[in-house]
Each structure stands twice: as structure tokens, then as C-alpha cells.
Amino acid sequence: MTLPRDRLITNLVDDLVPVPRRARVASPTCAWLVVAALFVTACYLLVQPFRPGLFEQLLTAPRFAIETALGITSAALLCAGGLALAVPALGSPWRRLAPALAALSAWLGLNLYAFAEPALAPSMIGKRPGCIWEVLLAGTPPLLVLLWLARRRWPLRGAINGLALGLGAGALAATLMQLACLYEPTHNFVFHLLPGLALGGIGMAAGLRYLRER
């Protein structure tokens, strides 16, 4: 028997259940950034203290402070962009990631400019023999958390999602290592930034497997 239209609508409405809103980006991004920064810092401190004189360098060397701020900003924007992209929507994914990629490019550009004019006087103070592995190992758990958060949003572009989230986790781990380890432009780029960027590739590979339409 066919139900009257009004009764049918009433029955359908009564059957509706609340669905958690998964489109929010600011709150999970801020929470992730704080917790991930504390986690990575703790991991580095377990190996050895941060570079002596760090706070004085941040206060007296503006370009070094800007490099650090750009690295953290890149991590936050890449996290936010990756989580936003995980919510299905129309439009180019690269356009939605444009602010994050711009910040990442500026951060990398300043570090490349340091080859010509270092932000600090190069020094071996604070040298950490295994810094390349510290960046990769400390950056992986924050990346796994981001992948879990993204998967809950029904992502359709797993590779791009994973790339953005991996670069975000890598930028945070690399920036904090720039504070913990020695300052020397070639060492910084090869042993800090490149492992951070490699986490982007790891994130992309994980995204292809883990972030896919279900």
C-alpha cells in the first residue's frame, strides 16, 4: 500500500539520524600542530638537547626566525589543505592547495638562498649524527594521524591528499630539526629538508593505498 505523501515525508524525517560534521579544518589542524610539535620535540630531546644559543638566534637573526615561522606555517597550511581536500568537492585540488604550496615554496626558497647568504654563521655546534633518521622517524607518527583524520572524511584523491599531508608532517619535523641540529646550509638542505620532503612521497604512497573511495 502506498503511503500518503505527507506521511511518507514524516516517516523519512523521523528516520534521520545526526551525522558528525567532518568538514571542519581549523580545530583539527590546530590540535594536530600542537600535539605533533610536542611529540617531535620530545623525540628530539630524547636523543640530545637542542642547539645551544637557539633562542638568542631566533631573537637576533630575523631571517632565521622567518625561515622557522614559514616552516611551521607551511606545515599548518598543508595539514589544513590536505584535510579540506579529503572532503569530496568540485574544483581543482591544486587550487585548493595553492596557499599551502606557496608557503612551502617560500620556505624552500629561503633555505636555498641560504647557500648564497646564510641566515646564521655556519657552525658545527649542536651536531646530531643521526638527524636524517630522526626527521623521518619522528615525522612518521604525525603523518599517520593525519592519514587517519583524512580517511574519516571520505577522500577521493588519495595520492594528492597523502602528498599534502606527508609534506605537512615533513615540514614540521624538518623545521624543528633546523632548531635542534647544527646550522650549515648544505647540511640543512640534505639532512633536514630532503627527509622532510621524502615524507611527502611516503604520504603519497600511503594515500594511494589507504585513502581511497570506500
pLDDT, tens digit (0-9, with 9 covering 90-100), for 128-186: 999 999 999 999 999 999 999 998 887 778 899 999 999 999 999 999 999 999 999 99
Would you state the pLDDT for residue 214? 47
Q: Alpha-carbon distance 212 to 214, whole Å?
A: 6
* Element housing 39 (H / E): helix 26-47
Report the candidate in 148, 152, 153 with the shortest Cα–Cα distance to residue 203. Answer: 148
- What residues in the chain have per-residue pLDDT under 70? 1-23, 90, 212-214
Distances (CA, A) of 125 to 2, 47, 186: 81, 15, 15
Question: Are the C-beta atoms of residues 198 and 170 closer than 8 Å to each other?
Answer: yes
Q: Alpha-carbon distance 108 to 184, whole Å?
A: 15
Would you state the pLDDT for residue 88? 75
- Which residues have CB under 8 Å from 78's CB, separation 6+? 97, 100, 103, 104, 164, 165, 167, 168, 171
Would you state the pLDDT for residue 108? 97
Q: Alpha-carbon distance 60 to 53, whole Å?
A: 11
Would you state the pLDDT for residue 4? 59
